[in-house]
């Protein structure tokens, strides 16, 4: 017979998750040790060298058809970029007025950040490095297959860095710690569902 003590409330799990997140967020801007940016992010993409998107997240409403068109347009520009040119591109007609694009090619993958002109371009370039370094620490010698097989984790890492179009964390160690906490909660949730299902089958 299943003991009552093993039952875990989903509300409790959610509350724990929210508590962990809030405990990591400093109360005031002056107390924050991380770098904050006042600009607004439009999108983040990971595209392979064949033009296939492996990750795409838009921070303002963009219909799916338009997202696909933007990804194709961006790739058509990136694949023609010589190696010795700048990694910064003016958005202009491609992305709309007051927009910027920064990218970096790692192996077979283009990591692309799209943001408005109020962001610091060099800081955005460094942030790509932070994201890739975090992936390296999570997957060890990350490759395209890791991204395909761990799509959800890729989004989780990105969400710990950028929230609602604003950069909120730039320390890879803090990001990894947060991802590990979320993974633990997901395992608790999965275990709880399994126990509940087993109990239901046991009692018919």
pLDDT digits (tens, 9 = 90+) for 89-140: 887 767 777 888 999 998 899 999 998 888 888 888 999 999 999 998 888 7
Mean pLDDT of 39-54: 85
Count of helices and strands (H, E) across the chain: 7, 7
pTM for the structure as a whole: 0.70
Q: What is the pLDDT of residue 33?
A: 28
Nearest to 185 by CA among 4, 6, 15, 23: 15
Q: What is the pLDDT of residue 142?
A: 82
Mean pLDDT of 153-163: 90
- The proportion of the chain whose per-residue pLDDT surpasses 90, expressed as a percent, equals 27
Q: Distance (Å, rounded) from C-alpha 171 to C-alpha 152?
A: 20
**Predicted confidence band at 203 (pLDDT cuts at 50, 70, 90)?**
low
Q: Distance (Å, rounded) from C-alpha 122 to C-alpha 124?
A: 5
- Measured CA to CA in angstroms, residue 71 lies from 67, 88, 161, 198 at distances of 6, 16, 22, 45
**Predicted confidence band at 146 (pLDDT cuts at 50, 70, 90)?**
confident
């Amino acid at each position: 017979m299943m003991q009552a003590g093993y039952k875990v409330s989903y509300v409790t799990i959610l509350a724990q998750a929210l508590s962990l997140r809030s405990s990591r967020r400093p109360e005031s801007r002056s107390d924050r040790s991380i770098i904050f940016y006042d600009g607004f992010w439009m999108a983040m993409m990971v595209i392979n060298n064949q033009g296939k998107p492996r990750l795409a997240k838009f921070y303002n409403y963009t219909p799916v058809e338009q997202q696909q068109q933007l990804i194709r347009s961006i790739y058509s520009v990136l694949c023609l970029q010589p190696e010795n040119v700048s990694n910064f591109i003016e958005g202009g007609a491609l992305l709309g007025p007051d927009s910027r694009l920064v990218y970096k090619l790692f192996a077979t993958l283009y990591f692309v950040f799209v943001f408005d002109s109020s962001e610091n371009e060099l800081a955005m370039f460094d942030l790509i490095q932070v994201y890739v370094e975090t992936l390296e620490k999570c997957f060890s010698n990350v490759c395209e297959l890791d991204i395909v097989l761990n799509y959800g984790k890729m989004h989780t890492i990105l969400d710990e860095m950028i929230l609602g179009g604003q950069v909120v964390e730039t320390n890879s160690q803090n990001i990894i710690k947060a991802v590990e906490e979320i993974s633990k909660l997901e395992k608790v949730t999965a275990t709880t569902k399994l126990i509940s299902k087993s109990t239901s089958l046991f009692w018919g």
